[in-house]
Amino acid sequence: MTAERVWTFFYGSFINLEVLEKSDVAPEGVEVARLAGFDIRIAPLANLVPSEMDAVYGIVALVTHHELERLYRYAREELGGVYNPRAVLVETLSGAYRPALCYIAPSMTPSPASSDYVDRIILPARERGFPEWYVNKLERFRPPRDR
């Protein structure tokens, strides 16, 4: 019996397939997608905050519930971020709308992001063709000394 896969929207370091691979997550059907109604913050980890004027770019992919459980346990135990699932509607670059799960932290103690962490987001964002304005926005989360 194969495990059921669900569409999930990733927006932080989990857009990096190497990061997912380290957590033994093998996504299928990966596409670039946009989530309207939210803005991204990286302080120290990526998180979303509601915003009527903004949108977040990421990837939407098919993953199993078991993989999601393992991935967000890693986020909680190793990275210190507690994320909860939320149903969202994303738009792929081809213009298709797709219902998906998206994990958002209800709160996070703000602190500066590390340049290494921001790199794990920016490099795949560039490779996948995220809009330049959005990549520039991500760059601003680097510590001032590293910009």
Provide the CATH number for the domain around residue 48.
Answer: 3.10.490.10
Q: By percentage, how much of the chain surpasses pLDDT 70? A: 97
Of 104 and 78, the structure prediction assigns the larger pLDDT to 104
Give the chain's domain count.
1
Neighbours of 79 (CB within 10 A): 15
User: Please, where are the H alpha helices in the chain?
Assistant: 17-22, 65-74, 115-127, 132-139
Question: Two tokens at 36?
Answer: 């309207």
Residue 27 lies in a domain: yes
**Crossing angle (nearest 10°) for helices 115-127 and 132-139:** 170
In 3D space, the residue among 86, 81, 120 whose CA is nearest the CA of residue 7 turns out to be 86
- 5-24 residue pLDDT tens: 999 999 999 999 999 999 99
Has residue 72 got a pLDDT over 60? yes
Residue 146 lies in a domain: no
Q: What is the pLDDT of residue 147?
A: 56
Q: By percentage, how much of the chain surpasses pLDDT 90? A: 89
Whether 134 contacts 96, CB under 8 Å: no
Q: How distant, in Å, are the alpha carbons of 18, 54, 88, 136 from that of 74? A: 15, 28, 23, 28
Whether 143 contacts 115, CB under 8 Å: yes
- 33-61 residue pLDDT tens: 999 999 999 999 999 999 999 999 999 99
Has residue 2 got a pLDDT over 80? no
| Mean pLDDT value across residues 80-97 | 96
Residue 97 lies in a domain: yes
Alpha carbon distance 131, 143 (integer Å)? 22
Report yes or no on whether pTM surpasses 0.85: yes
Residue 147 lies in a domain: no
Q: Which domain holds residue 33?
A: 5-140
